[in-house]
Each structure stands twice: as structure tokens, then as C-alpha cells.
């Protein structure tokens, strides 16, 4: 079954944006990165109400891929998604990818607001390290609240690859 509204969230450095871009290219579904909406020039945070309003406008559409965390508004996206993907890869792998991304950013992934260069701050590492303990109770509540929404937790690079191929096949009938 081809999915029309796909929500992707998870640990920083887990490959969400890269996966979302590949899925977008394969399916043609519109792709939105929350960091481009949450941050303005120079890493200035958007007003919380404005950010929430922008998210609601996105999820009201019939087709989308939304990549990003914004834990305070997970329910906004989850309520409309027909597939929720939680990228929960090992923290040391995510940390290594954050470090690599700082120096070797894939320029083809346009997931940042203008004038928001890739940075690696202790705050981001701390956020990533504690992400699982903060998000798991919310996941449990949201899975109970929206039992008909398909949920998949991805815990390895192999699972990412298999899932991408499966979703591509669902949309196009092809695996590449």
C-alpha cells in the first residue's frame, strides 16, 4: 500500500534527512524539513505559535514527507500521518555521523534555513544522547492514541535500506 503522509523523526545523526530525500526522489511526495521551518537565518528559533501553525498547514495537505523532531508537536504530525518512522540507531553511530556531517555535509540535502551552517554544539550532542529517554514515553502514548497509524522503529542501517526499498516498491513497483 502506497503511503501518502510519512512522518520521520529520531535521533540527530540517524539518517532521517538522507532517507527522506531518497524517499522523496523515489516517490515524488513533497518533502518538508522541520529545521527549515523552526529556524530562521543564523539559527534563530521561530516563534512557537508560528512554528505550530506552519506545521498544521503542512499536515493538512493530502501528501507529504515531514522530516524532523519537534517533540512538543509530535502529535500534530502523528495525527495525520499514515506512516510514522522512528529512527533509533545506536547513539555512538549517531555521534560519529554528527561529527562527520560537521566537516562533510552532503550539500544535496537542503534541510537547513538560510545562513544556518552545519555546526556541532555540545547542546546537540546532549540532546541526541538523551533523546530516547525523552521520546519513548511519548511514543507509547501516541501509539495508543492513534492505533491505526502504522509505526515502525528503525534500529539499523540495514533496516533503513530494506524499508526504503519496500516503500519505493509500494509507490513505483520498482526497487531502484
Domain boundaries, the chain: 5-169
pLDDT digits (tens, 9 = 90+) for 66-107: 999 888 899 999 999 999 999 999 999 999 998 987 777 666
In this prediction, residues 36-53 reach a mean pLDDT of 85
Tell me what percent of the residues of the chain surpass a pLDDT of 70.
Answer: 90
Q: Taking a C-beta distance cutoff of 8 angstroms, is the pair 6, 29 a contact?
A: yes
Cell of 33: 524539513
Q: Taking a C-beta distance cutoff of 8 angstroms, is the pair 123, 56 a contact?
A: no
CATH number of 5-169: 3.40.50.300
Report the relative pairing of strands 39-40 and 44-45 from DSSP bridges.
antiparallel
What mean pLDDT value characterizes the chain? 88
Confidence (pLDDT) at 110: 67
Judged on CB neighbours under 10 Å (0-12, 13-18, 19+), 91 is middle
pLDDT at 157 > cutoff 70? yes
Whether the full predicted model's pTM is greater than 0.85, yes or no, is: yes
For CA atoms 147, 56, 58, 97, the dihedral sign is negative
Q: Cβ of 83: how many Cβ atoms within 10 Å?
A: 19
Taking the chain, what is the end-to-end CA distance rounded to the nearest angstrom?
Answer: 17
Amino acid at each position: 500500500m502506497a503511503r501518502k503522509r510519512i512522518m520521520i523523526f529520531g535521533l540527530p545523526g540517524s539518517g532521517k534527512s538522507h532517507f527522506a530525500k531518497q524517499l522523496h526522489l523515489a516517490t515524488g511526495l513533497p518533502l518538508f524539513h522541520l529545521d527549515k521551518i523552526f529556524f530562521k537565518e543564523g539559527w534563530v528559533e521561530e516563534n512557537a505559535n508560528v512554528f505550530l501553525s506552519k506545521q498544521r498547514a503542512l499536515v493538512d495537505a493530502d501528501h507529504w514527507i515531514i522530516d524532523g523532531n519537534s517533540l512538543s508537536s509530535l502529535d500534530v504530525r502523528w495525527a495525520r500521518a499514515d506512516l510514522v518512522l522512528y529512527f533509533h540507531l545506536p547513539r555512538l553511530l549517531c555521534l560519529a555521523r554528527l561529527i562527520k556531517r560537521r566537516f562533510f555535509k552532503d550539500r544535496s540535502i537542503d534541510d537547513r534555513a538560510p545562513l544556518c551552517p552545519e555546526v556541532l554544539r555540545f547542546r546537540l550532542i546532549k540532546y541526541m544522547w538523551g533523546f530516547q529517554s525523552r521520546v519513548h514515553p511519548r511514543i507509547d502514548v501516541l501509539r495508543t492514541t492513534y492505533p491505526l497509524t502504522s509505526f515502525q522503529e528503525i534500529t539499523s542501517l540495514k533496516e533503513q535500506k530494506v524499508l526504503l526499498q519496500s516503500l519505493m516498491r509500494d509507490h513505483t513497483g520498482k526497487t531502484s
